[in-house]
Structures are given as C-alpha cells and as structure tokens.
C-alpha cells in the first residue's frame, strides 16, 4: 500500500474532513477517527445499514478506526497529544475557532510536534473578515456563484446535485497533505495545510470567473450546454435525451456529416466554434430538428461510427448496470456488510485499484489494526 507507514488522525465531521481521511485510508494510511461520545453526526444521515451508521457514513469513513475522546477535558486533550506524537498528519474540519479555543490550533500543535502536518479545513478560509463564519455545501455553492450558473436558462438557479465543494475540499486537503509529506521527507519539518470550502468552490467556478474578468459578460445558465462550446449539450431523441459533445471543429464536421447535412460545416455562420456561438440558436435548432424524430440507438450508432462523443442521460440504476462501469471494478464490496458495495478510490496504480479494507467503524471500534 502506498501510505502503509503513514499514520493519520482525523477530527472530522460530516463530509469534507472524513473524505480527506478516507482518501488517505484507501491509499493505505492508518487513519484514526477522533469522535465525540455519540459519534460523527453523519452516522445518522439516512437509513442505517449497520447498527449505528448510515450508507453515507460508511462511504466517507471506511478503512478507519474510531477513538472516542472528550477534547473539552484535559484528559482527552492529553490522550490526543499522545496520539499526535505517533502520527504524521492531523486533519480537522471543526467549526472555525473551535480548535484554537481548545488549545489545539495549528500553531500550537506544530510548535509542540514539529514533524506534524496539520490540515486545517475551514469554511470561508483561514484569513479575511469571514474567516470565523461556519459554512456548508449549499451556502458555498451560492456564495461562490456556482448556483448562479447552474440550471436551465428558462428556469430558476439550481444547486449542483453532488456535494462537489465538500468532496473537492477533501481532495485538496489530501493533495496538500501528500505534498507536505514530500516536503517533510526533504526538510524534516511538518507544516500547516490550509484549505476551505470557499476556496474549493471558487476553483470550481474558475472558468466562469475568468470569462467574466476577461470579457465583462456575466455567465448565464446553459442547462446541459456549455458557455464556450456550441453545440455541446443534450438533444431530445425519439426516446430520450442524448448528450452530444463535439469539442472542436473537426468533430462538428463529423457530427453534421453523420446527421446527413455536411453542408452545415461549410455554412459561413458555422465555420468555427466562435461563429457557432454567435449563431447558437440557428445551429441548435437545425440539429435538434434532425435528431428529435430519431430513435436514440440509431443516433448513437451513427455518432459512434463517426467518432462523435456522446452519452445518454442515465439514472443511477442504469449506471450500476453498465458494462463499462462494471469492468472498472470501482464498485467494491464493503467488508463485513453483506450485499453492500461502495465506490472505491478513482485511481489505480499499475492498473490495480486500492481495495476498501474495512467498513466504517462502530463508535470506538478499532476496525483496522494499528501497524
């Protein structure tokens, strides 16, 4: 395992902190989850699939052990410091100010334990006028402008369906921790890694922000479409929508050829992407008119033969039944829980994906033996 000699302490709640810990656990690190007496709140998010844990909790906390500590008491803080002395990384996403009030902030702990990589996951960031405000996924999508660019242009704004900010912050934290480990190997010193929900949300909206900064145009909502590429969206077929994504002029030519209208590629209005953007309604209308009466399977066959990227909009059951998804072996059984499977880490090494080593622990359970 890539991180088999690395020890991690996670003082995490809900999604972002636990996901950072789950990434490192899947990569082989020994991860001990510090919990309050009644456990992480996410244990109760949704129907339970084990006595004290929901599916979401298992997804975010597989491969860890649980250590119950009361960090408001000196004994609990002393026990934590004993664990820190033996650990490489500490991750927390506690409410801003909480760790400092307990005397467990990054400056204090890295001074006491110079080897420690202290990952401080905030809401609005580690500096600035809002640094002490708490935050959650939908608030950050709204605050960073993501909600404003999501949804159908003729309808209301919409939250992005997946928790991209929480999970993204977990990813950035794991990336930061791994970079800090590499630096420590060279210098012998740990450091403080700062991440936040707002910074992640701003990064996910970076292309929209860049477009506004350079053009002055406020980004609009495009439904399944794209603000910069045309055509690049879902089209209704006889039996459902198909997303078609010709990402360059060559693929546009292949698309209109497959649709039986190669002359559209020579039309002065559609010669390149920038012209198609200016005449979006015309080209989208022409393509939609040809596609609407076609059976989806027939259209897919034509587009695949022409090398034009496309995909149907699927439900979750359809995703799980897909032969390509199954071939990736990314859905793995959760050890100890019969008939329960979870998405594994979306990365492989020499073609092999890291295995989920255990289900999430019960409160206080050592699920993964300490090495």
The set of catalytic residues is: 226
Q: Which phi and psi (to 5°) does residue 92 adopt?
A: -145, 145
- 3-12 in b/e form (b: 16+ CB < 10 A) is beebbbbbbb
- 98-135 in b/e form (b: 16+ CB < 10 A) is ebeebebbbeebbeebeebbbbbbbbbbeeeeeeebeb
Q: How far apart are CA 179 and CA 191, in angstroms?
A: 10
Q: What angle do the packed helices 206-215 and 197-204 form, to 10 degrees?
A: 60
Report the 3 state secondary structure along 170-201: HHHHHHHHHHHHHHHHHHCCCEEEEEEHHHHH
Residue 10: helix, strand or coil by DSSP?
A: strand
Residue 212: helix, strand or coil by DSSP?
A: helix
What is the torsional sign of CA 126, 127, 130, 132? positive
Instruction: Give 235's strand partners.
Output: 242
Q: How far apart are CA 42 and CA 57, in angstroms?
A: 6
The answer to whether the CB of 53 falls within 8 A of the CB of 62 is no
Record the tokens describing residue 257, joined without a space.
Answer: 């050829």
Query: Which H or E run includes 68?
Result: strand 64-68
Record the tokens describing residue 1, joined without a space.
Answer: 């395992």
């Amino acid at each position: 395992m890539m991180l088999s000699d690395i020890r991690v302490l996670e003082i995490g709640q809900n999604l972002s902190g636990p996901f950072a810990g789950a990434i490192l656990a899947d990569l082989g690190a020994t991860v001990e989850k510090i919990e309050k007496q009644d456990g992480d709140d996410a244990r109760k998010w949704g129907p339970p699939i084990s006595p004290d844990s929901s599916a979401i909790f298992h997804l975010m906390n597989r491969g860890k052990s649980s250590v119950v500590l009361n960090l408001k008491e000196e004994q609990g803080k002393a026990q934590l410091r004993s664990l820190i002395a033996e650990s490489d990384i500490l991750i927390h996403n506690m409410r801003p100010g909480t760790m400092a009030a307990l005397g467990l902030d990054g400056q204090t702990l890295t001074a006491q334990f110079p080897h420690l990589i202290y990952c401080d996951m905030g809401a609005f960031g580690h500096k600035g006028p809002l640094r002490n405000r708490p935050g959650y996924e939908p608030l950050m999508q709204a605050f960073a402008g993501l909600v404003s660019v999501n949804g159908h242009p003729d309808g209301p704004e919409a939250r992005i369906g997946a928790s991209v900010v929480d999970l993204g912050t977990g990813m950035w934290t794991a990336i930061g921790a791994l970079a800090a480990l590499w630096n420590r190997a060279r210098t012998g010193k740990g450091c403080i890694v700062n991440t936040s929900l707002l910074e992640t949300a701003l990064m996910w909206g970076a292309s929209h922000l860049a477009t506004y900064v350079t053009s002055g145009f406020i980004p609009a909502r495009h439904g399944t479409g794209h603000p910069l590429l045309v055509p690049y969206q879902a089209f209704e077929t006889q039996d459902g929508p198909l997303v078609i994504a010709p990402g360059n002029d060559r693929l546009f030519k292949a698309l209109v050829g497959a649709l039986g209208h190669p002359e559209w590629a020579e039309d002065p209005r559609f010669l390149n992407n920038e012209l198609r953007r200016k005449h979006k309604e015309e080209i989208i209308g022409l393509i939609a008119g040809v596609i609407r009466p076609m059976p989806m399977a027939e259209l897919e066959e034509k587009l695949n033969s022409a090398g034009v990227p496309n995909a149907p909009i699927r439900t979750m059951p359809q995703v799980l039944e897909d032969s390509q998804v199954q071939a990736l072996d990314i859905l793995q059984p959760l050890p100890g829980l019969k008939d329960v499977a979870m998405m594994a880490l979306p990365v492989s090494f020499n073609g092999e994906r890291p295995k989920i080593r255990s289900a999430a622990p019960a409160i206080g359970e050592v699920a993964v033996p300490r090495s």
